[in-house]
């Protein structure tokens, strides 16, 4: 799929103030610093579209980007950033949960996990919570450029194995790098196939 246009529309903390209408939305979630905003820039090939930072906790709002005037990419704040303190963490959690639970336009949630690390409790708990609420999601392994292919593959397999302990069927998954653009075509194709399906209904 070609990205012909990508426009920032609105940032906010209130799910009720998100754009009106029923265009499908694809949202990005995961721990702080995992690479959500970078992935949005990589997918759209617009470097400064979503604001990124080497320090965690950059994205604090729900950010809507309109793509090809027909669907949205949504950049969400990261979860689990300890330095923010209990109150800050709870506030972020509320924003994330309200978006996920109260946004029928949300078509697929991409859950990002860092391909360098072993499965983390916080991600597993979050994925379990998604399952309990019937939220459609897929997994995105990020920062694949930071490790060798063999380590990458063994980490991905370890992750999938852990998921299989809780899930009969594995969710779709993607291996990506915002540096090398690995995984870009696969994710865009996946989004396109869902958009096509929605248009047929
Ligand atoms: P928050 O908004 O704080 O939750 O973080 P985020 O998940 O949006 O992460 P962000 O995209 O801001 O990236 C965090 C850091 O990781 C930045 O320094 C990025 O340059 C770096 N980064 C993100 N993706 C990749 C990648 O695929 N490869 C490499 N090498 N670095 C990456
Ligand atoms: Mg961000």
Per-residue pLDDT at 54 exceeds 90 = no
Residue-level pLDDT at 9: 97
Residue ranges near ligand 2 (ion) with Cβ within 5 Å:
36-37, 58-59
In a domain, 28, yes or no: yes
Residue-level pLDDT at 17: 95
Which of 94-99's residues contact partners 24+ apart within 8 Å by CB, and which partners? 95/13, 95/15, 95/61, 95/62, 96/29, 98/15, 99/15, 99/18, 99/27, 99/62, 99/74
In a domain, 16, yes or no: yes
Residue-level pLDDT at 85: 78
In a domain, 97, yes or no: yes
Cα 199 to ligand 1 centroid, rounded to whole Å: 33
Q: In what order do the strands lie in the sheet with 25-30?
A: 6-12, 62-67, 71-75, 25-30, 106-114, 137-142, 173-175
Q: Is the CB of 41 under 6 A from ligand 1?
A: no
Q: What is the pTM assigned to this prediction? A: 0.96
We report the CATH number of the domain holding residue 137 as: 3.40.50.300
Residue-level pLDDT at 201: 76
Residue in 30, 34, 35, 55 to alter for ligand 1 test, most ligand atoms within 8 A of Cβ: 35
In the chain, how many domains are there? Answer: 1
- Answer positive or negative: Cα dihedral of 76, 82, 84, 86: positive
Q: Is the CB of 145 under 6 A from ligand 1?
A: yes
Yes or no: say if 44 and 3 are a contact pair by the CB < 8 Å rule: yes
Residue-level pLDDT at 24: 98
Residue-level pLDDT at 82: 66
Per-residue pLDDT at 76 exceeds 70 = yes
Q: Which domain holds residue 142?
A: 6-200
For the stretch 104-146, pLDDT in tens is 999 999 999 999 999 999 999 999 999 999 999 999 999 999 9
In a domain, 1, yes or no: no
Give which of 170, 176, 168 is closest to 157, Cα–Cα. 170
For the stretch 1-42, pLDDT in tens is 999 999 999 999 999 999 999 999 999 999 999 999 999 999
Yes or no: say if 159 and 126 are a contact pair by the CB < 8 Å rule: no
More confident residue, 178 or 53: 178
Per-residue pLDDT at 186 exceeds 90 = yes
Q: Is the CB of 37 under 6 A from ligand 1?
A: yes
For the stretch 145-165, pLDDT in tens is 999 999 999 999 999 999 999
Q: Is the CB of 165 under 6 A from ligand 1?
A: no
How many other C-beta atoms are found inside a 10 Å radius of the C-beta of residue 41?
20
């Amino acid at each position: 799929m070609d990205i012909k246009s990508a426009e920032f529309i609105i940032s906010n903390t209130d799910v009720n103030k998100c754009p009106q209408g029923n265009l499908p939305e694809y949202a990005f979630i995961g721990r702080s610093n995992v690479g959500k905003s970078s992935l949005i820039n990589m997918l759209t090939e617009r470097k400064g579209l979503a604001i990124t930072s080497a320090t965690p906790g950059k994205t604090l709002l729900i950010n809507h980007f309109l793509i090809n005037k027909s669907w949205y990419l949504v950049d969400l704040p990261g979860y689990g950033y300890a330095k923010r303190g209990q109150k800050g963490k709870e506030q972020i959690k509320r924003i994330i949960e309200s978006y996920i639970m109260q946004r029928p336009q949300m078509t697929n949630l991409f859950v990002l996990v860092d391909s360098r690390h072993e499965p983390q409790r916080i991600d597993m708990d979050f994925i379990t919570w998604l399952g309990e609420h019937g939220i459609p999601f897929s997994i995105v392994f990020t920062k694949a450029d930071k490790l060798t292919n063999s380590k990458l593959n063994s980490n991905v397999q370890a992750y999938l194995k852990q998921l299989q302990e809780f899930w009969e069927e594995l969710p779709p998954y993607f291996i990506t790098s915002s540096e090398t653009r690995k995984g870009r075509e696969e994710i865009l194709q996946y989004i396109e196939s869902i958009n096509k399906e929605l248009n047929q209904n």
